[in-house]
Structure 1
């Protein structure tokens, strides 16, 4: 609208000037007016094209469109629209991917599908069972193995799941689909900074979920790094549409960081003494001055030390209060 008004103003000024111009000047002015109008017309056409693209996109997702088909559609049109529309497309894809997880899970448990997938997957290294952290080698079904699937129906199912930007992750001896945020990074060039960083944060989780089969899969130093990165996001993008989701993710990370998990205790089972690597990680975070996380971890560390480094109910009962304080402090930054 502003551009139209400016052109009208320019036109009025030029018409006013015409009375003082010779024929040659008039022709030049007239040509300039035509060029300005044509330029504005082109901009309108582009805008109208984007509106039509989004109208067609929204019509396409009204039906029961599968993620792999939606990916193909987005791949064809995302470079033809502005950032806001590109964000809308990618977030809608994420939503539909989430809606399809249960359906694809049910299909993967039909017939002997799981047995064939497990047979084709990399053999679990029994030596890893005694290690504290998981290995990526056996977590995900390799795309290279799709060609070896003999059951044609299963092969087609796995192909469209992968094409829909999922991964198949091994949990408790079976494969389940999860959104492959690493795969969504192909759209980053078309997105805003907050959505790009959101996808980056979520890709850490899809590349290696923090918890699997009751055990923490990464080191406590890596978990601390995720905490700091999520905190940085929350402070940097308080108005992001994904702020609440990242805040929940921060809360999950903090809970596991403070309590461990059933299969990854933060203390020695016999003595109840906090494990050295956990204590060392807490000390590192405490020294990260200027972060909300460091302040909360410092308070927790004081509680532990006052309890002679024993992790019992006296310590664990304080986690909920510290957790709530961390979340409240982050929310106050908005």
Structure 2
């Protein structure tokens, strides 16, 4: 469980730290399907099914090689409509896994001093990898930017550094073909990518948005408790539960000197509780209890308030 201290990691680092599962067991089950009917008679596979299997198998083969990641992205986007929803879902999850696994290697290329210096001069607000490709005349930079973009990444900046993250909004192109839980997962991660919750250890979104995201993550976990991506969404939920009571290093819920609660933060929590139903939401139930202990302690971070939020968030 993440510790909500002054050394709390930045949003990008925390999101990147969420472990990804690959649906490997499901893929293994597919590959282990019987090749013949009882009695030894060969199974006749319909042409449509055989084609779908061929598309799926080709995608899996592409993902075996990091050098073919960009080819895999393009292939999936072009051909995903030809496979079953189950196969499409595995394709998306496996691609996400590959992008995550290869992210550090890609970022190592961007962390080079000469690349960082060139980006500092080149990049303006609103630029993305495509606009940078068009803007620069440096052939090596063009190649680097195009390779990163086509491999499924997007460029972000925080604390004076430029770095890559997974381009979850791009998964919206294939959202229609996957199962409902992964549709919702893609939507959650798209929001996280388009509007990161923090930058430079400070909230980039309002306190109200923090409560909305916590409730959205909680709703996903209630609807899809057995989803392949339940673990990742649970990590996000725990993140926002913690932020709701602690804030972040540079946007604390309590003033470091006076120990008084942030009134905007408290108001957002009150609004969430009044609009929702704490009897049906574990998140709102914990927030309601937090507000009650706050009122009892006159909005000051006392040992009693500290004890409550540690217990509520699982911090020791």
TM-score band, normalised by shorter chain: 0.7 to 0.9
For 2:223, the equivalent position in structure 1 comes to 236
Q: Which has the higher helix share?
A: 1
For 1:294, the equivalent position in structure 2 comes to 284
| Alpha-carbon distance in 1 for matches of 2:310, 2:70 | 41
Matches within 5 A, 1:75-224: 75-122=77-124, 137=125, 141=128, 143-224=130-211
In the alignment, is the contact (CA less than 8 A) between 1:116 and 1:149 conserved in 2? no
Structure 1: tracts of 5 or more residues without a match: 6-39, 123-136, 326-334
| Alpha-carbon distance in 2 for matches of 1:76, 1:141 | 23
- The counterpart of 1:250, out of the listed 229, 237, 254, is 237
Question: Against the structure 1 CA distance between its residues 313 and 67, is the aligned structure 2 distance closer, same or farther, given a 3 Å change threshold?
Answer: farther
Question: Against the structure 1 CA distance between its residues 220 and 68, is the aligned structure 2 distance closer, same or farther, given a 3 Å change threshold?
Answer: same
| Alpha-carbon distance in 1 for matches of 2:109, 2:303 | 44
Structure 2: tracts of 5 or more residues without a match: 1-36, 38-42
In the alignment, is the contact (CA less than 8 A) between 2:62 and 2:71 conserved in 1? no
In the alignment, is the contact (CA less than 8 A) between 1:121 and 1:142 conserved in 2? no
Cα deviation digits, residues 83-116 of structure 1 (max 9, x gap)? 1111111111100110111011110122511111
| Structure 1 residue 270, shift from structure 2 partner | 3.8
For 2:46, the equivalent position in structure 1 comes to 44
Give the TM-score normalised by structure 2.
0.80
| Alpha-carbon distance in 1 for matches of 2:109, 2:68 | 14
| Alpha-carbon distance in 1 for matches of 2:113, 2:265 | 44
Aligned-partner SS, 1:175 = strand
Ranked by relative contact order (alpha carbons within 8 Å, sequence separation 6 or more), the top structure is 2
Root-mean-square deviation (CA, aligned residues, Å) is 2.1
For 1:61, the equivalent position in structure 2 comes to 63
Question: Against the structure 1 CA distance between its residues 301 and 191, is the aligned structure 2 distance closer, same or farther, given a 3 Å change threshold?
Answer: same
In the alignment, is the contact (CA less than 8 A) between 2:129 and 2:146 conserved in 1? no
If you compute each CA radius of gyration, which structure gives the higher value, 1 or 2? 1
| Structure 1 residue 294, shift from structure 2 partner | 1.2
Question: Against the structure 1 CA distance between its residues 64 and 143, is the aligned structure 2 distance closer, same or farther, given a 3 Å change threshold?
Answer: closer
In the alignment, is the contact (CA less than 8 A) between 2:156 and 2:165 conserved in 1? yes
Give the TM-score normalised by structure 1.
0.76
| Structure 1 residue 312, shift from structure 2 partner | 4.1
Question: Against the structure 1 CA distance between its residues 142 and 64, is the aligned structure 2 distance closer, same or farther, given a 3 Å change threshold?
Answer: closer
